[in-house]
C-alpha cells in the first residue's frame, strides 16, 4: 500500500497501510518505492517504533506530540488508534491526490487524510475527523505532521512585532521541541505560521530546504521536535482554546491546509514554490498591478475635500493609477477614539457624500479605493450604543480594549447581516474598485453566545463575509491589512489580491521586512510604498531614490503628502513610477531572487523565467566594510549567455557585458555607496 507520487523535481512516497498516511520520503526524486528498513525499537522503550504519520497517535505508541487529541464525556477514548479502511489515488486539476481513510471502532471515529502533490511542486495536506458515535467528541488538538530527514539540521523561523515583521532567524535544530503558539486571533506579526528546515550548509542558492506553512488566519501552533532517536518532524495546526471545538454525532471537523515545499537548490527555489502555490490560490489572475496613493500618512484624519482633491491632482500627474482613501471618512471618526463600526459616510466632512471626491479622482484617470475595518468597533459609536451586546467578549467581564476598540461578534447572524449590508451599500452606491480591509486588534477572551471561545468561528465568519462581498462585487479588489503584516497567509489569499506588508514605510526597515516576506509571498501581492522623509515610523530621512528602489520590488505605492514635495523630489518619484510601469511585468512574473552578502548590503532582484533578463537592487544598509568597489555574485543565470548590464536608477556602475558564468563566478561590479543608498541594475541577455 505504498504510493509514489512524483513530478519533475520532487518525490513523495507514502505508506497508506495503517489508515493514517506515513510519509516515507519527501524531497529529491527517487526510484525506489519500498519502505525504509525498519528501525529496531530503542532499548528501554516499548516493542514498537511508531512511525511519524501525518496525524501521529499516542495510542500507536508515538512518543512525540499527538496530532489528534480529544475525548468523549468523562475523558473516555482519549487516545484513539486507527486501522486501515481504504485509500485511493487520482489526478485532480491541481496535481496528484492521495486520500487515505482510517477507522477506530472503539473510539467511533473516522479519519480521512488528503495529500496533493501539486503541479507547482507543493505538498498540500489536510485531515478530517468524523464522529460516528452517539455522543459529542471534544477536540483538544488536531494538527498535521511531516517527518524530515536527519540531514535537516537547522530550523528557520520568522518572528517580529507591529512595524517590524518577518525577522528571519536560523538556528541548529535542538534536541527536544521548539514551539511557537499564537492566541491573538489573527495570523500574527509575532509568529507567522511558516517554518523552514534545511541542511546546515544550505543558503539562498544551494542545499536541501523544506518549508511548511499553515494556511489559516486565526490561532495556530508550530511545533518542531527532535526525538531522542534523532528522528525529527514539524507539526502545524490550529490552536484551540479550552472547550472551543466539539464534534457532535454525525458531524466532522477539517484542519486547515498544511502547505509544504522542497528545494534541493536553496532557499530561493523553495520560495518559488511558495510563490507558485500562492498564485494558484489567488481569487483571480492579476493584471498589471496599479500604482497606489494611500492617503493615511499624507492626511491621517484630516479629510478636507480640497486637500484630498489637490492630493489626487498631484498623484495623477505622477502617473499614479489608484487613489485609496484611508481611515476617517465615516461616522464620527475624526480620531481613533470614536465612530469605528459606523459605516456611513460622514456628513461632517463630506456634506455631499463621497461621490464628488470619487468623481474628481476618476476624472484624473485613477481608480478609487477605500479603507474599512469591519471586524471592530469603538465603544464610542452609534453601533455599540444601540447594540452593546454585539461585542465579542465574555459575559461578566469588562472587555479588554485595544487601540480604543473592541471586536464585534461576526458569528452572530444579526451582526453579520448588519455589517454585510453596510459594506454592500458602500460598494453598490459608489464607484469603488478597491477595499483595504484592516484588523487592528487582538482577540482577547472572545466568547460566543454559548460562552465558548469563538476564535475559530470568528475567523470563518470573516472568510464568509469576504466571500459574500466578493460574490456580490466581483470586480472589486481586496487587500488584507491587519496593522500591516498581521494577516498574511494562504488561507486568506484565496479572498484578496494584496497584502499590506507592514505599517512601517521606512525604506531601510522595509529592505529587511520585504526580504523576509519575499521568502513566502510573491511580489505582486506584497504592498510596498514610498513613504515620507523623515519616516513617520522611524524618523529617518532617506533620499527619494532609496525609497523608490525599495518600493519597486512589490506592488508599488506612495504613502506621503506629494503636495509638499519639491520639484526635484517629484521628478525623481515620477521617474521611479515610470520605471516600475516599464518593468512591472518582469517584476511580477519572474522569479524572486536573493543573494548572500555581508550584513552591510541587501541584494535582491528578479530573474525572468527564461533567465535572459533580470532586475537587481543593490542596497547599502550600513557603512561598507571596504572603501573600494566590490562585486556581488549572481548565480542562476545562463552560463553562455552574454548580458548587457545597465544602471537604471541610482549611482551608475557603467555599461558592461558579462556572461552568466562570469556573473556567477566573478560577480557584478557595484560602486561604493553611502549607507541608505541603492542602485537598480538591468541585465539583458543575448
User: Which CATH architecture group holds 292-590?
Assistant: Alpha-Beta Barrel (3.20)
Distance CA 68, CA 255 (A): 11
% of the chain at pLDDT higher than 70: 99
User: For residue 619, which phi and psi values (nearest 5 degrees)?
Assistant: -110, 130
Rounded-to-10 torsion of CA 467, 469, 471, 476 = -110
How far is CA 4 from each of CA 7, 10, 53, 98, rounded to the nearest angstrom? 10, 10, 16, 10
Among residues 489, 503, 591, 676, the one annotated as catalytic is 503
pLDDT of residue 595: 98
Across 611-623, average pLDDT: 96
Task: For 593-685, give the CATH class.
Answer: mainly beta
Helix axes 413-429, 455-472, angle to 10 degrees: 30
How far is CA 113 from each of CA 100, 110, 142, rounded to the nearest angstrom? 5, 10, 12
In which order are the strands placed within the sheet that holds 601-607? 591-594, 601-607, 613-620, 677-685, 642-649, 656-659
pTM above 0.85, yes or no: yes
Q: What mean pLDDT, rounded, does the chain reach?
A: 96
- For residue 503, indicate whether it is catalytic: yes
pLDDT of residue 48: 81
C-beta of residue 25 within 8 angstroms of C-beta of residue 10: no
pLDDT of residue 7: 84
- Is residue 304 classed exposed, middle or buried when 0-12, 13-18 and 19+ CB atoms within 10 A define those classes? exposed
pLDDT digits (tens, 9 = 90+) for 597-610: 999 999 999 999 99
pLDDT of residue 40: 73
Distance CA 278, CA 295 (A): 28
C-beta of residue 291 within 8 angstroms of C-beta of residue 576: no
- Is residue 581 classed exposed, middle or buried when 0-12, 13-18 and 19+ CB atoms within 10 A define those classes? middle
Rounded-to-10 torsion of CA 509, 512, 518, 523 = 40
What is the pLDDT confidence band of residue 653, given thresholds at 50, 70 and 90? confident
- For residue 438, indicate whether it is catalytic: yes
What is the pLDDT confidence band of residue 628, given thresholds at 50, 70 and 90? confident
Handedness of CA 340, 342, 348, 349 (dihedral sign): positive
Helix axes 544-552, 567-589, angle to 10 degrees: 20
C-alpha cell at position 196:
523552514
pLDDT at 36 > cutoff 70: no
Distance CA 198, CA 154 (A): 5
Rounded-to-10 torsion of CA 549, 554, 556, 559 = -90
Task: Give me the residue spans of the domains in the chain.
Answer: 2-30+51-281, 292-590, 593-685
pLDDT of residue 431: 98
The answer to whether the peptide bond before residue 651 is cis (omega within 30 degrees of 0) is no
Q: Do you know the residue count of the chain?
A: 686
pLDDT of residue 651: 83
Across 283-287, average pLDDT: 96
Task: Map residue 495 onto helix, strand or coil.
Answer: coil
Buried b (16+ CB within 10 A) or exposed e, 356-382: ebbebbeebebbbbbbbbbbbbbbbbb
pLDDT of residue 671: 85
Rounded-to-10 torsion of CA 407, 413, 416, 422 = -130
pLDDT of residue 39: 66
Across 653-662, average pLDDT: 90
pLDDT of residue 650: 84
Task: Map residue 540 onto helix, strand or coil.
Answer: coil
- Paired sense of beta strands 220-226 and 176-182, if any: antiparallel
pLDDT digits (tens, 9 = 90+) for 333-352: 999 999 999 999 999 999 99
- Residues in CB range of 407: below 8 A, 6 or more apart: 185, 375, 376, 391, 392, 393, 441, 443, 446, 458
What is the pLDDT confidence band of residue 37, given thresholds at 50, 70 and 90? low
What is the pLDDT confidence band of residue 656, given thresholds at 50, 70 and 90? confident
pLDDT of residue 33: 63
Distance CA 188, CA 485 (A): 7
Among residues 104, 326, 438, 506, the one annotated as catalytic is 438
Across 445-472, average pLDDT: 97
pLDDT digits (tens, 9 = 90+) for 297-328: 999 999 999 999 999 999 999 999 999 999 99
Q: Which of 232-241, 458-467, 490-499, 666-675 has the lowest mean pLDDT?
A: 666-675
Q: Which of 168-182, 221-235, 407-421, 624-638 has the lowest mean pLDDT?
A: 624-638
CATH code at 2-30+51-281: 2.70.98.60
pLDDT at 38 > cutoff 80: no
Amino acid at each position: 500500500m505504498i504510493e509514489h507520487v512524483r513530478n519533475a523535481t520532487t518525490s513523495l512516497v507514502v505508506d497508506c497501510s495503517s489508515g493514517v498516511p506515513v510519509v516515507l520520503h519527501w524531497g529529491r526524486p527517487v526510484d525506489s518505492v519500498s519502505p525504509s528498513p525498519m528501525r529496531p525499537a530503542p532499548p528501554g522503550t516499548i516493542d514498537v517504533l511508531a512511525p511519524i504519520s501525518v496525524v501521529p497517535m499516542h495510542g500507536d505508541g508515538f512518543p512525540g506530540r499527538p496530532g489528534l487529541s480529544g475525548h468523549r464525556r468523562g475523558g473516555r477514548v482519549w487516545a484513539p488508534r486507527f486501522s486501515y479502511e481504504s485509500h485511493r489515488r487520482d489526478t485532480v486539476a491541481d496535481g496528484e491526490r492521495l486520500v487515505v481513510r482510517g477507522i477506530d471502532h472503539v473510539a467511533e471515529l473516522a479519519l480521512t487524510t488528503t495529500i496533493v502533490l501539486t503541479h507547482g511542486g507543493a505538498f498540500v495536506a489536510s485531515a478530517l475527523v468524523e464522529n460516528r458515535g452517539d455522543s459529542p467528541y471534544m477536540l483538544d488538538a488536531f494538527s498535521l505532521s511531516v517527518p524530515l530527514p536527519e540531514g535537516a539540521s537547522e530550523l528557520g523561523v520568522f518572528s517580529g512585532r507591529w512595524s517590524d515583521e518577518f525577522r528571519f532567524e536560523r538556528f541548529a535544530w535542538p534536541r527536544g521541541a521548539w514551539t511557537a503558539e499564537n492566541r491573538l486571533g489573527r495570523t500574527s506579526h509575532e509568529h507567522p505560521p511558516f517554518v523552514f528546515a534545511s541542511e546546515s550548509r544550505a543558503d539562498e542558492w544551494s542545499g536541501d530546504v523544506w518549508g511548511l506553512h499553515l494556511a489559516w488566519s486565526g490561532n495556530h501552533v508550530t511545533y518542531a521536535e527532535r526525538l531522542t532517536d534523532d528522528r525529527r518532524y514539524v507539526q502545524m495546526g490550529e490552536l484551540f482554546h479550552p472547550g472551543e471545538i466539539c464534534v457532535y454525532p454525525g458531524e466532522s471537523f477539517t484542519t486547515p491546509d498544511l502547505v509544504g515545499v522542497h528545494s534541493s537548490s536553496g532557499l530561493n527555489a523553495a520560495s518559488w514554490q511558495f510563490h507558485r502555490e500562492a498564485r494558484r490560490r489567488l481569487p483571480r489572475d492579476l493584471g498589471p498591478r496599479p500604482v497606489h496613493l494611500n492617503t493615511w500618512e499624507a492626511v491621517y484624519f484630516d479629510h478636507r475635500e480640497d486637500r484630498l482633491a489637490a492630493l489626487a491632482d498631484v498623484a495623477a500627474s505622477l502617473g499614479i493609477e489608484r487613489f485609496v482613501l484611508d481611515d476617517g471618512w465615516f461616522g464620527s471618526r475624526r480620531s481613533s477614539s470614536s465612530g469605528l463600526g459606523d459605516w456611513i459616510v460622514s456628513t461632517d466632512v463630506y456634506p455631499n457624500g463621497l461621490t464628488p471626491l470619487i468623481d474628481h479622482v476618476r476624472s484624473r484617470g485613477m481608480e478609487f479605493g477605500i479603507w474599512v475595518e469591519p471586524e471592530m468597533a469603538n465603544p464610542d459609536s452609534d453601533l455599540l450604543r444601540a447594540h452593546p451586546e454585539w461585542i465579542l467578549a465574555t459575559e461578566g467581564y469588562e472587555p479588554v480594549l485595544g487601540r480604543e476598540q473592541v471586536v464585534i461578534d461576526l458569528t452572530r447572524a444579526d451582526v453579520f447581516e448588519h455589517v454585510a449590508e453596510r459594506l454592500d451599500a458602500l460598494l453598490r452606491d459608489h464607484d469603488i474598485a478597491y477595499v483595504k480591509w484592516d484588523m487592528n486588534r487582538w482577540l482577547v477572551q472572545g466568547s460566543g453566545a454559548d460562552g465558548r471561545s469563538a476564535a475559530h468561528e470568528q475567523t470563518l465568519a470573516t472568510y464568509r463575509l469576504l466571500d459574500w462581498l466578493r460574490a456580490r462585487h466581483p470586480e472589486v479588489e481586496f487587500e488584507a491589512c491587519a496593522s500591516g503584516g498581521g494577516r498574511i497567509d494562504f488561507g486568506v489569499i484565496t479572498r484578496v489580491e494584496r497584502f499590506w506588508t507592514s505599517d512601517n514605510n521606512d525604506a531601510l526597515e522595509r529592505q529587511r521586512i520585504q526580504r523576509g516576506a519575499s521568502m513566502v509571498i510573491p511580489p505582486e501581492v506584497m504592498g510596498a510604498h514610498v513613504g515620507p522623509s523623515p519616516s513617520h515610523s522611524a524618523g529617518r530621512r532617506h533620499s527619494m531614490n532609496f525609497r523608490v528602489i525599495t518600493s519597486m520590488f512589490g506592488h508599488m505605492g506612495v504613502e506621503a503628502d506629494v503636495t509638499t514635495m519639491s520639484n526635484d523630489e517629484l521628478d525623481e518619484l515620477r521617474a521611479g513610477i515610470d520605471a516600475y510601469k516599464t518593468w512591472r511585468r518582469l517584476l511580477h512574473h519572474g522569479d524572486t531572487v536573493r543573494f548572500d552578502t555581508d550584513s552591510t548590503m541587501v541584494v535582491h532582484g528578479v530573474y525572468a523565467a527564461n533567465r535572459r533578463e533580470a532586475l537587481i537592487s543593490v542596497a547599502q544598509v550600513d557603512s561598507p566594510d571596504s572603501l573600494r568597489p566590490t562585486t556581488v555574485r549572481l548565480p542562476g543565470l545562463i552560463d553562455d549567455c552574454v548580458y548587457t548590464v545597465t544602471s537604471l536608477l541610482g549611482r551608475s556602475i557603467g555599461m558592461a557585458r558579462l556572461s552568466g558564468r562570469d556573473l556567477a563566478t566573478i560577480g557584478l561590479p557595484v560602486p561604493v555607496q553611502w549607507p541608505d543608498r541603492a542602485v537598480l541594475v538591468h541585465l539583458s541577455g543575448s
